[in-house]
Structure 1
Amino acid sequence: MEKMTRLPTKVKLIMFLAILVVAIALILLQLPEKQQGKVVLLSNTELLDTYQLSATLMQPNGVGPHPAAVLLHGCYGVSNKHDQWGKTLNEWGYTTLIVDSFSALGIKDICTAEDKIWQHFNQRRPKDALVALNYLQSLSEVNPNNIVLFGWSYGGAITLKVLEQNSAIERKSYSAGIAFYPSCWQYQQYLMSGKQYKANVPIRILMGEDDEWTQPIHCQQLLNNNKDKSHQQLLTFTGAYHNFDDQQQRYQLLKNVRKESKQQPWGSVRVSYNKQAHLDAQAAVREFLNNNLSKHKPE
């Protein structure tokens, strides 16, 4: 009888430990991966607008100078998605700089912020992109003629602004641009004031066909103004929502967020990771970079 009473206790202990291990594993899977790279402090030195912001520099293997990429986050700030893209670009031989426009100001996100906050960052974030470009061009391990600007969502709209032909600064020019699901409607409303859009470098916009937060139709209308389809082009991915390239983004209905409408500026949108769209986007980005960046090293 003594042995019979001990056996269930041991079984219960084993089952408890097994469940505990599984629970810990599930928690660890949902935690954001620790960002790798070196945190650097960038400075805007304009006389009337001096400020600092942080960024994460991630280096590829091998001897440089390497091509490079600046990564601009969306309204939710820097996330694991940007770190993952940084690693992917490192594997392709790119130095990457993930720019954090919010944390130095004590801001986590501005997705539900009032208009004056957005207006402030509409003016400031293009400067952030140029400060980042200037920093990378100062590094001996970076090819100053091969630097690409990446942006996601709100960062994608800023990418469009920075690469607009009329706003280009010749000595601080990016070589190409990638905009993931930007709000072309927001760009037209807040940054462009109805002007005809034309980028000064090759640019690709990548979006999910079913994106409800930033709708592809607005980007298509924006690019229809330009006759050179190979220079600036919209690529869409079947069955994909906003944030389709974020591996930690579960299917979710976000409520009470800003939408692309003056009549109904707040509403609900679906977001979700889409593995196939992510893989297709990676392939499209790599092909675009291979076709649009010079292969030679600077003399």
Structure 2
Amino acid sequence: MPSLRSLLGAILTLATTANPCLAGALTEIPGANDGQAPLPAYLARPAGAGPFPAVVVLHGCGGFNNVAVTWADRLASWGYVAAAIDSLTPRGRTTVCGSGLNEQTFDAYQALKFLAAQPFVRADRVGMLGISLGGGSALTALEHDLVEPMFPVKFRSGVAFYPRCAGMAGVMTAPTLVLVGELDDWTPAAACRDMAAGKTGTFGPPREPGDRSMVELVVYPDTHHSFVASELRDGIRLYGHWLQYNEAATQDAASRVRAFFERTLGN
């Protein structure tokens, strides 16, 4: 297992290559127990002493990348402390696209605990933003009576970019913004519509009755998976699925995310 110093150095190299004008710095978040390695994280902060509201950023199945760094810096420019965490490298993995990573949800709560303890963060106003796999982890973290009861410190709200909605009940403990492309063939928009409506549909097990008013769903027409990944302008096929950047959808999503966090976290 590489040392934490080398892990952080690798993240710094990646982040600097992605954006030479970074707003943040590297840090580490303690593991959930004595046997768990610390989580490397990219921490972006607004100027000033704060305290500020904050957002935990969760990467996709391919690991920590430019998308997570870009969102952390964007959030900092809006006045939020943002911690983009790396859930794969400390576990010796480079991808979980074929398997998933349940631990990422628990990593999110570790990051929440870390942020809430910082003097420059408003502990009662921490949200989360997850991308693809991270979006599914965000839904899991916020769903009523799933893992949320295990943690005394709570997320105030969450954003999920093209998450896997199949199997999620959609009954959330906090406001949740879900953004997905109509042409997404990896995490289908139809599954998210079913979740938001409480319908069983084609995807996942039967859904129990419940209040799904916390879910705000936005579906972008003519838009594929990974639509906020600017490096995929020409599109690629991965694991049989089409991934492609969509500038118009990304710009609209950024406006919606900013308004959503202003409404739910303040600023």
TM-score normalised per structure 1:
0.74
Greater fraction helix: 1
Give me the whole-angstrom Cα distance separating, in 1, the residues matched to 2:210 and 2:32: 38
TM-score w.r.t. structure 2 length? 0.82
**How many residues were matched structurally?**
238
> Which of 52, 60, 78 is the aligned partner of 1:74?
60
Alpha-carbon shift at residue 35 of structure 1 (Å): 8.0
Tell me: CA distance 1:81–1:207, structure 2 relative to 1, closer, same or farther (3 Å).
same
| Alignment partner, residue 75 of structure 2 | 89
Match of 1:184?
165
Greater Cα radius of gyration, structure 1 or 2: 1
Contact persistence 2:234–2:244 (CA under 8 A): yes
Q: Offset at 1:134?
A: 0.4
CA distance in 1, matches of 2:134, 2:187: 12
- Find the aligned partners of 2:110 and 2:21 in 1 and give their Cα distance: 22
- Measure the CA separation in 2 of the matches of 1:285 and 1:137: 21
Instruction: Select which of 205, 216, 233 maps to 1:250.
Output: 233
Match runs of 1:231-246 below 5 Å:
231-246=214-229
Counterpart contact for 1:251–1:270, Cα < 8 Å: no
| Map of 1:3 onto structure 2 | none
Distance in structure 2 (CA, Å) of the matches to 1:276 and 1:227: 34
For the residue of structure 1 that corresponds to 2:30, the secondary structure is strand
Runs of 4+ residues over 4 Å off in structure 1: 226-230
Structure 1 gap segments, 5+ residues each: 1-30, 258-267
Give 1:294 shift.
Answer: 4.5
Report the equivalent of 1:58.
Answer: 44
Q: Quick one: structure 1 residues 154 and 35, their matched pair in 2 at CA, closer, same or farther if it must change by over 3 Å?
A: farther
Q: Secondary structure at the match of 2:242?
A: strand
Paired residue secondary structure (2:18): coil
Aligned-partner Cα distance in 2 for 1:173–1:101: 20
Deviations 1:194-236 (A, max 9, x none): xx43110000100111111111101111121277565212101
Counterpart among 102, 123, 129 of residue 150 in structure 1:
129
1:168 aligns with 2:148: yes
Q: CA deviation at 1:139?
A: 0.4
Ranges in structure 2 where 5+ consecutive residues have no aligned partner: 1-16, 199-208
CA 1:251–1:228: 2 relative to 1, 3 Å: farther
State the Cα distance separating 1:34 from its structure 2 match: 4.8
